[in-house]
């Protein structure tokens, strides 16, 4: 079996038809899901982009690799020192090496490594094809490269092909010729005028009054599908439509790649996997069109697998899994060995036994736009998420937040004050996980602490003074005061008497 992994950046699970979305955003992916298996609760261990793919390709949590952010020390792997193997752990114990040991020719079509300076991520690829636009290429450019590669190589070797498309990621730039397919379709029911107005009165990077970061672009956005600022419900709809059009455009080009497999007679000899590096918040926690938290919508990603002939790879799986668990499962089912170094573990035996094979809880980390850990767990028949915030990224977060996802799927009601018993339970799970990771790690450093010591999350460095001024200028002096209280200037260091 060949393996085609289509990695769609910023893809929300709940904006695909096969996951119940009311808009027809994903007919091709829906068809693959109908002929395969879809996973409801696959979570990225470390977000966003750079930490996510580092974790997936290495099989390890960011606390063990050192990669939890987008800049500074904690976007580089820990140095392996005197024990470093010939080619380093990212190669010797990585996902691509495990596939190569099974006889696979490994290829990526992606500009991700260049975009993020994530050079360790390339370890183990036989072949690297960089579209060359640092994530700004559209799906038509990427699918063209993939189809060309399949024409030259599809029947000539056993292969693993990673194809990375970016279209749901901001800026929403599906070609105008693609039209406005959702112009006449309503917003999701949860996004009401009241929800938006509360959001608009709030603050934080990528909130409605500064959706491009900490300010608005001079002259407004140059991308018509994401007008700036987001001032009314019509503008909200434009953003949802822009995101969903990006999803549909990506799906269309997934279809073109699938058609090439069929043309070559490879469709039933290829395992097709649809996944994402992270999801996307579209108003949840007052983050619009970005991935800044360790919450449900940034960390929960779609996973659809069509595995020809595998009867146990059909239907729906609701178990709690990390994204690197499916990488381990792939290696296991193909007859390979999952490296003992990995945190990822195979759920192939559970699938064979018609079980879900999920974990008891998951810990999710964010270090680029905030410094957070989330704990995703089940208790009392409900799905819960606790967020422990160590640096708020200049958003309206307290140190602890708690959401009952079964009753409040879009995280609008923080229950941390009223459900201390659940917070205590989640806090114990988090501490148990930290203890386990500390024992398994080769380093005594928690890289999220490194992020804090270096001044906070990379995308927020140096932004506070200007943002405080903007908040006051736009009638949000109370927000400015709250941020100043949470982030006082550090006291001057004492001078040495020597």
Residue 489 pLDDT? 80
- pLDDT averaged over consecutive 10-residue blocks of the chain (498 residues)? 98 98 98 98 98 98 98 96 89 97 98 96 98 96 98 96 98 96 98 97 98 89 94 97 98 98 98 98 98 98 98 96 98 97 97 96 98 98 98 98 98 98 98 96 96 97 97 98 92 66
Within the chain, all domains assigned CATH 3.40.720.10 are found at 2-358
337: left (phi over 0), alpha (psi -120 to 50) or beta: beta
Residue 498: per-residue pLDDT: 56
Structure tokens at 404: 């009952």
The residue whose two tokens read 């073109």 is 256
Alpha carbons 249 and 241: distance in angstroms, whole number: 12
Distance separating alpha carbons of residues 412 and 434, to the nearest angstrom: 28
Predicted local distance difference test score (pLDDT) of residue 495: 63
Q: What tens digit of pLDDT does each residue of 271-285 get?
A: 999 999 999 999 999
CATH number of 2-358: 3.40.720.10
Residue-level pLDDT at 86: 87
Under a CB-based contact definition with an 8 Å cutoff, are residues 221 and 200 in contact?
no
pTM of the shown model: 0.96
Residues 53-74 have pLDDT tens digits of: 999 999 999 999 999 999 999 9
Q: 124 and 53 in contact (C-beta within 8 Å)?
A: no
Please identify which residue in the block is written with the tokens 């690829």.
125
Gyration radius (Cα) of the chain, Å:
22
CA distance 484 to 394: 10
- Answer for the pair 38, 18: CB distance below 8 angstroms, yes or no: yes
pLDDT reported for residue 491: 75
Exposed, middle or buried, 213 (CB in 10 Å: 0-12/13-18/19+)?
middle
The pLDDT of residue 496 is 61
Q: What is the pLDDT of residue 83?
A: 84
Q: Quick one: pLDDT at residue 12?
A: 98
């Amino acid at each position: 079996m060949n393996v085609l992994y289509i990695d769609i950046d910023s893809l929300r699970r709940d904006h695909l038809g096969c996951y119940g979305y009311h808009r027809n955003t994903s007919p091709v992916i829906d068809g693959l899901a109908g002929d395969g298996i879809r996973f409801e609760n696959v979570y990225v261990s470390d977000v966003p982009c750079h930490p996510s793919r580092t974790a997936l390709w290495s099989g390890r949590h960011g606390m063990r690799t050192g990669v939890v952010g987008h800049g500074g020390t904690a976007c580089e792997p820990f140095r392996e020192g005197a024990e470093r193997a010939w080619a380093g752990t990212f190669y010797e114990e990585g996902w691509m090496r495990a596939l190569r040991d099974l006889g696979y020719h490994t290829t990526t079509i992606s500009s991700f490594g260049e975009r993020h300076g994530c050079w360790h991520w390339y370890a183990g690829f036989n072949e690297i094809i960089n579209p060359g636009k640092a994530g700004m290429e559209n799906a038509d450019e990427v699918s063209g490269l993939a189809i060309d590669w399949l024409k030259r190589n599809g029947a000539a070797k056993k292969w693993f092909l990673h194809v990375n498309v970016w279209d749901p990621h901001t800026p929403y730039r599906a070609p105008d010729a693609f039209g406005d397919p959702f112009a006449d379709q309503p917003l999701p029911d949860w996004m009401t005028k009241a929800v938006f107005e509360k959001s608009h009165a709030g603050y934080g990077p990528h909130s409605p009054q500064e959706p491009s970061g900490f300010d608005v672009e001079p002259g407004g956005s140059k991308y018509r599908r994401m007008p700036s600022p987001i001032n009314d419900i019509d503008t909200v709809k434009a953003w949802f439509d822009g995101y969903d059009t990006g999803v549909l455009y990506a799906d269309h080009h997934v279809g073109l790649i699938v058609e090439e497999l069929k043309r070559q007679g490879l469709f039933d000899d290829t395992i097709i996997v649809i996944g994402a590096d992270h999801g996307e918040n579209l108003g949840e926690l007052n983050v619009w069109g970005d991935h800044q938290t360790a919450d449900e919508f940034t960390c929960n990603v779609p996973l659809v697998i069509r595995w020809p002939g595998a009867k146990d790879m059909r239907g729906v799986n609701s178990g709690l899994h990390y994204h690197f668990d499916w990488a381990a499962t792939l290696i296991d089912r193909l007859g390979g060995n999952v490296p003992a170094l990995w945190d990822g573990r195979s759920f192939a035996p559970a699938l064979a036994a018609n079980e879900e094979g999920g974990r008891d809880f998951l810990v999710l980390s964010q270090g680029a736009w905030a410094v957070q850990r989330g704990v995703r767990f089940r208790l009392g028949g409900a799905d819960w998420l606790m967020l422990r915030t160590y640096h708020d990224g200049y958003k309206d977060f307290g140190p602890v937040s708690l959401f009952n996802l079964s009753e409040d799927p879009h995280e609008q009601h923080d229950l941390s004050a009223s459900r201390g018993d659940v917070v205590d339970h989640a806090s114990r799970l988090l501490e148990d996980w930290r203890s386990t990771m500390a024992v398994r790690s080769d380093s005594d450093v928690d890289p999220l602490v490194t992020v804090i010591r270096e001044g906070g999350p990379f995308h927020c460095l140096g932004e506070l003074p200007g943002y405080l001024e903007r908040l006051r200028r736009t009638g949000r002096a109370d927000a400015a005061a709250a941020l100043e209280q949470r982030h006082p200037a550090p006291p001057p260091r004492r001078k040495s008497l020597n």
